[in-house]
Amino acid sequence: MRGGTAVRAAVVMAVVLGAAGCDTGDGGTSAAPSVTVRAEDLGPVTKASAQAEIDAAAADAGAPAGDPDWAKMTASRCGAGYRGYGTEGEKVDPGRYEAVVGELRERGWQPSGEAPERKDENGTVQIAQKVFTKRGWTLTAEFQGFETGLISVSAADKACIDEIRDRVPLPVQSAPSAGGTEGQ
């Protein structure tokens, strides 16, 4: 399994979002439109338009083809995503990741944060992560330089996620009492 903890976290998110049942905004289909969506589009971001932008950004940046098994697994109603693995013949590097990030910016995704890059003992970037927003959606782009490298992009509709939270109440834990006055 590549990426260890990151992969497990992504799988958990995909399962939760996939089972959630939010409206997709695209009639329930998962096929991406054939038109490349650009930043000039000021309409609402839908699952289909987010997926089209992600796919087009990866393709225009020359990133590896998306993993179809990953696409099926992450085909949630609240989100869209891409995962491309390098090969022994053509490894994915931080430059390719930055090209994908640049393409996302061209499509109107606004930077909203990033994690510090993690580098190996030689100073080579091994992990990079940036977060973007666009009209109610949050997108995370990640690079992992281990083995042959991978680029992962995941986007989620905040309103859809909030709807899930409203429908699936989380248990509230009460704080332990201070001073040990229980039972007095």
Domain assignments of the chain as residue spans, ordered by start = 5-33+45-168
Q: Indicate whether 181 pLDDT > 80.
A: no
Reply yes or no on whether the pLDDT at 108 is more than 50.
yes
Beta strand pairing status for 150-157 and 79-85?
antiparallel
Which of residues 3 and 162 earns the better pLDDT score? 162
Q: Give the HSE-up count for residue 150: Cα atoms under 13 Å, Cβ half-sphere.
A: 18
Instruction: Give CA–CA dist 67/180, Å, rounded.
Output: 55
Higher-pLDDT residue of 181 and 108 is: 108
The candidate with the shortest Cα–Cα distance to 127, out of 142, 141, 113, is 142
Burial of 21 (0-12, 13-18, 19+ CB in 10 A): middle
Integer Cα distance of 21 and 39 in angstroms = 28
Q: How confident is the model at residue 17 (pLDDT cuts 50, 70, 90)?
A: very low
Single-letter amino acid, residue 10: A
- pLDDT exceeds 60 at position 122: yes
Please tell me which residue, 28 or 55, carries the higher pLDDT value.
Answer: 55
Between 161 and 107, residue with greater pLDDT: 107
